[in-house]
Amino acid sequence: MRKVHPAALSALTGLLLYAAWPESPLTLLVFVAFIPLLWLERQGMRRARFFGWVYLSMLIWNIGATWWIWNSTGPGAAAAILANSLLMCVPWLGFHWIRNRMGNIFGYSSLIFFWLSFEYFHLQNWGLSWPWLTLGNIFACHPKWVSWYQATGTSGGSLWILIVNVLLFQWLWQFAKHRHFTWRPLAISLALIILPVFLSLIAMPKKSDDNIGKPACNIVIVQPNIDPYEKVETGTFDAQLQKLIRLSESAIDSNTVLVVWPETALFLETGSIEEDHIKEYHFLRPLWGFLDRHPRLDLLSGLESARYFDDQHSSTAFRIPGTAKYEESYNAAAILDTGGLVQSYHKSRLVPGVETLPFFLHFLDSWFEKFGGTTAGYTGQSERNPLITTNSTYKIAPAVCYESIYGEFLSRFSHNGADLIAIITNDGWWGNTPGHRQHRDYARLRAIETGHWIVRSANTGISCVIDPHGRITESLPWDTSGVIKASVPATPKLTFYSRYGDCISKLAAALTILLFVWHFSTMIKRRTSRG
């Protein structure tokens, strides 16, 4: 069988993954995207060469799908893309090693186990996490295809993609090797693509009927459209606050119980707002006047805040120069009413490099700070307790900035009683690129996973309302100021995914461990018997 040049196969996998990624209409290409890389591996080569070609594939994919990060920070984007591409090679190297020692069945099974384990640990659960390129996210523009995410989460989509790629590759490899066409493997592969979509379409209701006995109330979502780079300029906050209030009051009616403002809508130009004394800041007087005029309202707003302690309350608390006090700073979501701050949540999934680094990379702190990073700046929180409105209309799962791309993380709020998801973000850093549209569409998958309505307030857009089936019911376009007034019910149901979490990835991680234990124990027994 004639060999294909590795460069062509490597580049083809990267290009196919990029071509299938949201918001491309070529989503189905993902079911064949890994076939060139699998073909390359079967052509036989040393591990070092295989690693180089895999890295090229992953690099092309990362650049094509996330190049827009460059608009926010050039050095940070380069570091993220290079590092993420490198880490994506790990499951492929493990697969190459296992297949050459244990054969095809264990080898191709290991690729599935390793990739799902990688997505769970790297893309979700450590200081350099970057779940943007989780394979299951690729169906974000097609929520009708994956209503079953309410049981599996995005790992179900990743598993689906990997199985189909492996089966189609095996069929193609056998055909090329023996020149004998067989229908059965091809038919099984095609059925595995069509059947999940068909079942999902049948299960998808034509309209939302998720009130579950709770009357819907009006929520006003504000999109002020303030340039994020101009937002922090000295002397601009008063005008920004007045704009937020003016837009809010243009839509409030007697049935409105909640107003939602975007990430860091409230901030102090020379520091952070102390949460325990928020009513004492004179520049926030227009805010309290607004809430006094609408005493039935709760306001959910982004807040750049702080708290002060007599000791080092946490590893991220820093000592205030010239005092014995320590400060924790937060990128927060807060519920406010006429009495002040009712409850707050502190963003916990911090941006790698910009807001956090793993402990073993803290020697790079000063390098990141040169480019606007605050690696020791924000403190998160461990609890996933919902924010409860004062009238108990909603129990809100808050997602600040890009936290809505973490599926299992957000589902823990639902497990603790949340019945509405509120995303407050500022996607303006990326400009008018695929970044903010992908971010919006990933939220559609969170709606399916949790079975909740989502209200999304984005500073420059796209603000929207999403029903529990991932359908966008109201939306404001990018780069416009405006409001959405929508009747949104609370949905206190608990999906399988919210109740039990990412079972597929946890099972894959367990099988990965068992596979290595079994392999090494077999090697030890062989050496012992030879001795």
Contact between residue 267 and residue 226 where contact means Cβ atoms under 8 Å apart:
no
Three-state DSSP state, 389: coil
- Residue 355: pLDDT band (50, 70, 90) is low
Question: Given this model, what pLDDT does residue 278 score?
Answer: 92
Q: Greatest CA span in the chain, whole angstroms?
A: 86
Residue scoring higher pLDDT (154 or 379): 154
**CB proximity list for 231: less than 8 A, separation 6 or greater:** 240, 264, 459
Residue corresponding to tokens 């004179």: 282
Return the DSSP state at 145: G
Question: Given this model, what pLDDT does residue 531 score?
Answer: 57
23: which 2 tokens? 């918001």
- Residue 368: pLDDT band (50, 70, 90) is very low
Burial of 115-136, coded b for 16+ CB within 10 Å and e otherwise, reads bbbbbbebbbeeebbbbbbbbb
- Residue 165: pLDDT band (50, 70, 90) is very high
- Identity of residue 101: R
Question: Given this model, what pLDDT does residue 231 score?
Answer: 75
Angle 276-280-281 (CA atoms, 0-180°, nearest 5)? 105
Three-state DSSP state, 60: helix
Average pLDDT, the chain: 87
pTM here? 0.89
Rounded average pLDDT over 466-473:
95
Distance, in Å, from the CA atom of 427 to the CA atom of 88, rounded to the nearest integer, reads: 26
Mind listing the pLDDT tens digit for each residue in 73-105?
777 788 889 989 999 999 999 999 999 888 899
Contact between residue 340 and residue 315 where contact means Cβ atoms under 8 Å apart:
no
Question: Given this model, what pLDDT does residue 74 score?
Answer: 73
Contact between residue 55 and residue 31 where contact means Cβ atoms under 8 Å apart:
no
When mean pLDDT is compared over 39-43, 267-271, 352-356, the highest value belongs to: 39-43
Mind listing the pLDDT tens digit for each residue in 192-249?
999 999 999 987 777 765 555 466 789 999 999 998 877 767 668 889 999 999 999 9
Outline where 122-236 has alpha helix (H): 149-152, 154-178, 183-203, 228-231
Contact between residue 301 and residue 261 where contact means Cβ atoms under 8 Å apart:
yes
Check whether 294 has a pLDDT greater than 70. yes
Question: Given this model, what pLDDT does residue 374 score?
Answer: 47
Distance, in Å, from the CA atom of 438 to the CA atom of 21, rounded to the nearest integer, reads: 9
Q: DSSP per residue over 423-474, as a string?
A: EEE-GGGG-SSHHHHHHHHHHHHHHHHHT--EEEEESSS--EEE-TTS-EEE
Could you list the beta-strand ranges (E) of 369-515: 387-388, 395-400, 420-425, 454-458, 464-466, 472-475, 482-488
| Closest among 489, 452, 445 to 149, alpha carbons compared | 445
Rounded average pLDDT over 171-198:
86
Rounded average pLDDT over 290-302:
94
Cis-peptide into 41, omega within 30 deg? no
Check whether 412 has a pLDDT greater than 90. yes
Least confident of 8-17, 99-108, 471-480: 99-108
Distance, in Å, from the CA atom of 448 to the CA atom of 470, rounded to the nearest integer, reads: 6
Return the DSSP state at 207: S
End-to-end CA distance of the chain: 41
